[in-house]
């Protein structure tokens, strides 16, 4: 519930925040929303496997000279799934573990290296859902909280449209971790 309220607040701020005049407009500043997709690898003692990651992100960047700082929120889904045979009560059954949704709230700091390129680092809180199905019972889903760190580059091909590429690492409870490489296309307000 708190994540939904945070996402709604960020989207509202992104929609109503407009520069007062064209003279105040700076590259990589203001509200932004994007669609993202990429590859993810889950690892750890209980989960493993690769998958396609997809979702959306919203945020707001504040201009301080060539530095940009601001909050961002994100929701993604995943196709990651890993199945293996396991012994249960003397029988071998197929046990599958998969990644479901991932909620993220954090911030980023960037440096504008040219009017069209910004490099940035990010960090924040993440909460992901992982499911297990072992063939003898219904699926069991567990939410795992943790932190995310990452970095990337954003390229503006107009004053409002951009693409980005980033790497990020998430560490969750119970020795579960995730590496992701994500690309995005977005718009600024």
Contacts of 150 (CB under 8 A, 6+ apart): 121, 122, 123, 166, 167, 168, 169, 180
Q: What does the DSSP 8-state code read for residue 13? A: H
pLDDT at 95: 79
Q: Which residues of 47-78 are buried (b: 16+ CB within 10 A; e: fewer)?
A: bebebebebbbbbbbebeeeebebbbbbebeb
Cα separation of 53 and 38, whole Å? 5
Contact 52, 39 (CB under 8 A): yes
pLDDT at 174: 76
Please name every residue paired with 129 in a beta bridge, in sequence order, or none if there are none: 143
**Which pTM does this prediction carry?**
0.80
134-171 pLDDT per residue, tens: 766 667 888 999 999 999 999 999 989 999 999 999 99
* Least confident residue range of 51-55, 69-73, 115-119, 141-145: 141-145
Please name every residue paired with 107 in a beta bridge, in sequence order, or none if there are none: 71, 123
SS3 label, residue 9: helix
Contact 46, 97 (CB under 8 A): yes
The neighbour count for residue 128, using CB atoms within 10 Å, is 24
SS3 label, residue 5: helix
pLDDT at 138: 67
Q: Quick one: pLDDT band at residue 18, thresholds 50, 70, 90?
A: very low
Contact 147, 126 (CB under 8 A): yes
Task: Give all domains of the chain, ordered by start, each with its CATH number.
Answer: 2-188 (2.40.160.20)
């Amino acid at each position: 519930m708190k994540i939904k309220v945070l996402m709604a607040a960020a989207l509202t701020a992104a929609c109503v925040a407009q520069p007062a005049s064209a003279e105040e407009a700076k590259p990589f500043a203001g509200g932004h929303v994007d669609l993202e997709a990429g590859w993810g690898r889950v690892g750890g003692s209980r989960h493993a496997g690769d998958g396609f990651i997809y979702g959306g992100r919203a945020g707001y960047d504040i201009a301080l000279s060539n530095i940009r700082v601001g909050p961002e929120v994100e929701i993604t889904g995943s196709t990651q799934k890993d199945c293996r045979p396991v012994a249960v009560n003397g029988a071998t059954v197929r046990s599958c573990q998969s990644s479901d949704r991932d909620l993220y709230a954090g911030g980023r700091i960037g440096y504008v290296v040219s009017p069209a390129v910004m490099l940035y680092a990010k960090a924040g809180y993440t909460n992901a859902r992982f499911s297990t199905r072992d063939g003898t019972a219904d699926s069991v889903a567990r939410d795992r909280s943790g932190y995310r760190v990452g970095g990337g580059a954003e390229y503006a091909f107009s004053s409002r449209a951009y693409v980005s590429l980033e790497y990020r690492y998430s560490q969750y409870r119970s020795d579960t971790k995730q590496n992701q490489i994500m690309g995005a296309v977005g718009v600024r307000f």
